[in-house]
Amino acid sequence: MTERSVPFIGERFPEVTVQTTFGELSLPGAFQRRWFILFSHPGDFTPVCTTEFIAFEQLHPEFRKLNTELIGLSVEQVFSHIKWIEWIRQCFGVHITFPIIADGLGTLAKQLGMIHPTLGTRTVRSVYIVDPKGIIRLMLTYPETVGRNIYEILRAVQALQVVDANQAATPANWPNNEIIGNQLILPAARTVQEAAERMKMSQAGQLKCYDWWFCMKQG
């Protein structure tokens, strides 16, 4: 890590040891060979955060199908997290099965840019998606007043895994793009010769292209 307070996409997630509702964990090592999503929430016993945790838990089986684990974070203590998830289970019948970090001093939250410098000490709604090599692949930040779309976070993990497997890019709203559906976009041609070859393949029906810089394939 450099001296910047917030890591960038493509950098390794910082090596840290955290206290959680599942005991002490070391990140990113605790999720070795798996993807994980670290997400912060402003506070326990708050309505929007409660709906988010329920939504994350309801999609937890879908995340696990993608070899992806979840871990929450706020600046409260473990006992607060435990009481809150107990309350969620009693009121909504939902058992939270992923750990929650108790970052009481805000050490990790500050390191990851989860605390706004002028809006107090509560964490914003940040999301870090980290791959099995411990590399940060996606970062999202929502304000306190806007609950996250958990289906979009699930879609983002799916897209990242498809991109890795196919060495291609996903279009807007993948897999339901309005123009090309679930097809993937090939990387741009890097030479004049490669551009000409793509057009030749397109004309021969071997590759589908709108132009040499906009070619597609099935994932």
Return d(Cα 137, Cα 214) in angstroms, integer.
Answer: 24
Return d(Cα 140, Cα 149) in angstroms, integer.
Answer: 11
Residue 125 assigned as binding residue: yes
CA distances from 84 to 33, 44, 80 (A): 30, 6, 6
Residue 208, H or E segment: strand 208-211
- Please report where in the chains the tokens 């002490």 appear, as a residue: 24
Burial 47-62 (b: 16+ CB within 10 A, else e): ebbbebbbbbbeebee
Burial 18-27 (b: 16+ CB within 10 A, else e): bbbbeeebeb
Tell me whether residue 91 is one of the annotated catalytic residues: no
Is residue 107 classed as helix, strand or coil in its secondary structure? helix
Residues acting as catalytic residues: 49
**Residues placed in the known binding site for substrate:** 125
**Residues placed in the known binding site:** 125
